[in-house]
Amino acid sequence: MSSLDSFSRKGWVVLFVFVVTQIVYLAMVLVTLPHLRSLAGGLEPFDLLPGGYDMDYARRLLEAIGSEGRAFYLTRQIPLDLLYPGLFAATFAMVWLWLFARLSSPSPLLRAGALLPIVVGIADYAENALVVTMLIGFPNLSKGVVKAASLFTVTKSMATVLYFVALLCLLAVVGVRRYRAGRP
């Protein structure tokens, strides 16, 4: 965390990593995920199911996208989604630490908020590994693999929401303290 700490003090580094992260995110949201949704006849790819999925859904999705879609998932979506979790974790941990450094007397417990994006990244990597297992193993799907993949999808989604709610609270605290101190 100390190297993230030192980078997070440099606003330009945080901004640069944020921009790179958003480029990868936009490539997925605007290109690869819509293509998979189109191949699936409107079914959402695993990454976009914050409430998770079951064996029936996994089978329907993988059948619907066909062999072309499974190859696309493996060769286009997954490579981007191998970059994104690490970028997300680093970016949003640095954003948290950058804001944290602007507090005059922060609580050490508050610093732990920087760990939430790391939890998101780990859950996303685990989800990706299990999705790859499903893609490669199809049509032989393991109920345990599908259940674990779904659990990591839900964990990733919940930790993401929790992080952004906490980030908004931290932004509010920083803003109020700066306003009271007479600084813009």
Burial code (b: 16+ CB inside 10 Å, e: under 16) for 85-116 equals bbbbbbbbbbbbbbbbeeeeebeeebbebbeb
- Whether this prediction's pTM lies above 0.85 is answered by yes
Nearest by Cα to 32 from 72, 64, 82, 60:
72
Contact 114, 93 (CB under 8 A): yes
Please calculate the CA angle 92-97-103 and round it to the nearest 5 degrees: 135
Residue 2, pLDDT above cutoff 80: no
The pLDDT value recorded for residue 181 is: 80
Domain limits, the chain: 2-180
Residue 57, pLDDT above cutoff 80: yes
Task: Out of 1-10, 52-61, 165-174, pick the least confident.
Answer: 1-10
The pLDDT value recorded for residue 77 is: 98
d(CA 66, CA 70): 6
Over residues 13-35, the pLDDT tens digits come to 888 999 999 999 999 999 999 99
Over residues 89-126, the pLDDT tens digits come to 999 999 999 888 888 777 788 889 999 999 999 999 99
Residue 6, pLDDT above cutoff 80: no
Q: Is the peptide bond before 139 cis (omega within 30 degrees of 0)?
A: yes
The pLDDT value recorded for residue 11 is: 77
- Beta-carbon contacts of residue 65 (< 8 Å; ≥ 6 apart): 36, 39, 40, 72, 73
Over residues 33-49, the pLDDT tens digits come to 999 999 999 999 999 99
Over residues 69-90, the pLDDT tens digits come to 999 999 999 999 999 999 999 9
CB atoms under 10 Å from CB of 68, counted, come to 9
- Beta-carbon contacts of residue 69 (< 8 Å; ≥ 6 apart): 36, 39, 40
